[in-house]
Amino acid sequence: MSEPLPLEGVRVLDLTSVVAGPSATLRLADMGAEVIKIETLDGDLLRTLGGASKSGSMSPKFMHFNRSKRSVALDLKHPQCRPVLERLLGESDIFITNIRPESLARLGLDAVTCLAKHPRLIHCIITGFGPGPYRGRPAYDTVIQGAAGVAGLFIKRDGRPSYAPFLLADHVVGEVTAGAIAAMLFRRSRTGRGGELEIPMMETLAAFVLQEHLGAATFRPARGESGDSRILAPDNLPIATANGWVSVTCNTDPQVHAFLKAVGRPELLDDPRFKTVAARFAASKDWFAMRADALKHQPTEYWLRVLTEAGVPVMPCHSIESMLEDPHLVTTGLLQHRDHPIEGPIIDVASAVRFDGQASATGFSAQSSGQDTHAVLRELGFGEADIEAFRQSGVIGDGKMAGQTRRASE
């Protein structure tokens, strides 16, 4: 008999949208939590912002971040919505939102109000900026990448700012949020009390950047310029081969020795520029130039074999398309092919976390907006007459549409 997932029996009320919040609640769902996603009557913006789809309301990005979640559509501003929210809060262990603090307070969903009525609740808010001069400003991933110094790092390397080509801030904040919620659940198991969490995006990502790149400016007075010059070197890139690229890193002296022998440059073993970690750090430009020159004459397949046999960390530099065929990812089950009830055949991306040695399943498919509204309200004790009254007054969306989704596990 397999062990239950760590968060089985935990209910999450998810009032988040786009990516940062949904990535956190996806992680909680993959840990076994029941996630009830609250959407507006128009649905999560990511349903259309995340790319085209067959239905027009199931973008690829939305499906990836919102599988394994039940969908309830509510008009939170409607005065008759309050009884629904109170019952949802009363039956939930965790409430998570990325609505701005002042708007949350107007809805009566701020931490003080919620915890006064539901003291065991864990109330979590993801904000763009914590208490300070920027408090309350709107924020998206690219805004945070700029404010937290990520885009500025590219100036040191490339001479112009740039964004990471994926939603770096949202992913980092989502993972930090899920971990913080798990910690609060552990504390509640000992104290019996819930509590308040805030995860500010700018500060969270700025801490990552500064821990990595404050460097010599850590000391007071500064001992030199900020930034890890090795990481920020313009030549610190995947290395071109005769027919593609490989990603190679040698940090330890034994790895460097193995690399130099494997690429046919044993005469450099005693070169003072490359003899120690500190020397290679100081001569990073020469080190990267030597690597590039050494690998350009043989194909990728050759270097993957030779460097792997030598014990040098090396992997192919994948495109999205080639990654789908990577034998390791296929074998581990990260990529799971399934039929979505509306969109047809798709590739789902599973969690990479293995509990008790088992690969994670992807749960059920992303639901239509409001698909589970009726079922959840019945579970909360509302009768058919109540639910119909909510529908007629515009409090809820019923999620009825052609080709309505179903749970993959059924």
Q: Residue 360's pLDDT is what?
A: 86
Identity of residue 65 = F
pLDDT in tens, 300-315: 999 999 999 999 999 9
pLDDT in tens, 365-409: 999 999 999 999 999 999 999 999 999 999 999 765 433 433 333
Q: What is the pTM of this model?
A: 0.93
User: What percent helix, strand, coil does the chain show, rounded to 5?
Assistant: 45, 15, 40
pLDDT in tens, 153-202: 999 999 999 999 999 999 999 999 999 999 999 999 999 999 999 999 99
Spatial CA neighbour of 39 closest among 369, 282, 357: 369
Enter the tokens of residue 30.
Answer: 């993959």
Q: Where are the domains of the chain?
A: 11-207+332-397, 239-316
Q: CATH classification of 11-207+332-397, choosing from 3.90.25.10, 3.40.50.10540, 3.40.50.300, 3.40.1180.10?
A: 3.40.50.10540
For residues 321-349, average pLDDT: 95
Distances (CA, A) of 371 to 38, 41, 52, 60, 367: 11, 11, 20, 18, 6
pLDDT in tens, 190-238: 999 999 999 999 999 999 999 999 999 999 999 999 999 889 999 999 9
Identity of residue 276 = T
pLDDT at 75 over 80: yes
pLDDT in tens, 341-361: 999 999 999 999 999 999 888
Top-confidence range, 35-39, 277-281, 357-361: 35-39
3-state DSSP of 11-31: EEEEECCCCHHHHHHHHHHHC
Q: Residue 405's pLDDT is what?
A: 39
CATH class of the domain whose range is 239-316? alpha beta
Taking all residues of the chain, what is their mean pLDDT, rounded to a whole number? Answer: 94
Residue percentage of the chain with pLDDT more than 70: 97
pLDDT at 274 over 50: yes
